[in-house]
Amino acid sequence: MLKKLTTDKTALVLIALPGILHFLIFKYIPLAGNIIAFQDFNLFKGIWSSDFVGFKHFVTMFTYEEFFNILRNTMLLSFYSIVFGFPAPLVLALLLNEVRKMWFKRPIQTLLYLPHFLSWVIVGGIFINLLDVNGIVNQILGWFGARPIDFLSNPSFFRPMVVGISIWKEVGWGTIIYLAALAGINPHLYEAAMVDGAGRWRQMWFITLPSLMPAIVILFLLRIGNVLEANVEQVLIFINPLNRSVGEVIDTYVYRVGLLGAQFSFSTAIGLFQSLIGLTLVVFLNQLSKKTTGESIY
């Protein structure tokens, strides 16, 4: 018996070993590189020989005249993504759960999943052609006598465009977790509710949503951890000099100034700042969720 248990444990360790090595090599060991945020990093001197400058790069970051505008853009984009993007997969999953005709439900699910597998370059190309001044959208508006709208360069359209396209691309994929959670709800709860005279709305409100609450809380907390991280690929595709005032976010600024400008220590300081804010929000909201709902990620 003892020999069998030892064999089983060894098999489990071997199965988990690739994942453990992945996290050690690509996640934990690179954390040591954050030390260059406190250095004037020099490629030729390396991490251990570069000069320490303390909080110089953090001071530079906070005294940069455009930093708080960039931070505001990032926060607003994340806020809109959470307010409109986070509930979208849940709402879609609840709607799909009400569909009883499988011949209709399965093709719809497939069509909703497909955009997730397209790269942002392809999606960007599609919507740039659709929203161009001479694109299909403006041609349709012209049929009703409207003037062409410059969706791609007008700053007032940038945030709704980015958030809307992101929802279109990822909403179907996000429903998978909720549909899996819905499949795990005990059907006897619905049968008992029907006996008590509860309609579909009351069943959803008093059975479905409470049963989904653990998944909702976990996904929300994980989303909050990335509140200062915009989708840099998407933003880089749609940003241009005319909408940069509202489109420049922390990640694009790091790419433009930190990486293209070879300011590695400065860009690392900004990344460390993002991580600390995300960690603080996750810890605080996790404790708040544990006290209010009883659900948490740890």
Q: What pLDDT shows up at residue 3?
A: 58
Whole-Å CA distances, 34 to 136, 145, 271, 274: 47, 56, 9, 12
Nearest to 266, CA basis, from 67, 71, 61: 61
Domain ranges of the chain: 64-292
DSSP letter assigned to residue 117: G
User: How far is 157 from 149, CA to CA, in rounded Å?
Assistant: 10
**Location of structure tokens 């070993």:** 17
> Sign of the C-alpha dihedral, residues 17, 18, 19, 23?
positive
Only one residue has tokens 């996290």, namely 23
CB–CB of 92/105 below 8 Å? no
**Residue 279, token pair as written in the block:** 């960690």
Contacts of 151-156 with CB under 8 Å at 24 or more apart are 152/128, 152/238, 152/240, 152/243, 153/240, 153/242, 153/243, 154/242, 154/243, 155/242, 155/243, 155/245, 155/246, 155/247
Please state, in angstroms and rounded to a whole number, the distance separating the CA atoms of residues 35 and 274.
15
How far, in Å, CA of 212 to CA of 222, rounded?
16
As given in the structure block, the two tokens for residue 208 are 């479905």
- Give the pLDDT score at 1: 52
Three-state DSSP class for 51?
A: strand
The pLDDT tens digits along the chain (298 residues) read 545 556 667 888 888 889 899 989 988 888 888 888 898 888 788 888 888 888 888 888 888 888 888 889 999 999 999 999 999 999 999 888 888 788 888 888 888 888 999 999 999 999 999 998 888 998 998 898 888 888 988 899 999 999 999 999 999 888 988 988 888 888 888 888 888 888 888 888 888 888 888 888 888 888 888 887 777 888 889 998 888 889 889 888 888 877 778 788 888 888 888 888 888 888 888 888 888 777 777 7
Q: What pLDDT is stored for residue 286 in this prediction?
A: 85
Comparing C-alpha atoms, which of 265, 274, 261, 262 is closest to residue 53?
265
The H-assigned helical ranges of the chain are 2-23, 56-63, 67-80, 87-98, 102-113, 120-131, 136-143, 155-183, 187-195, 200-203, 209-224, 232-238, 244-247, 250-253, 264-292
Residue 6: the pLDDT is 65
Instruction: Judge contact between 207 and 185, C-beta under 8 A.
Output: yes
What is the topology classification, in CATH, of domain 64-292?
MetI-like fold (1.10.3720)
Nearest alpha-carbon partner for 253 in 10, 30, 72:
72
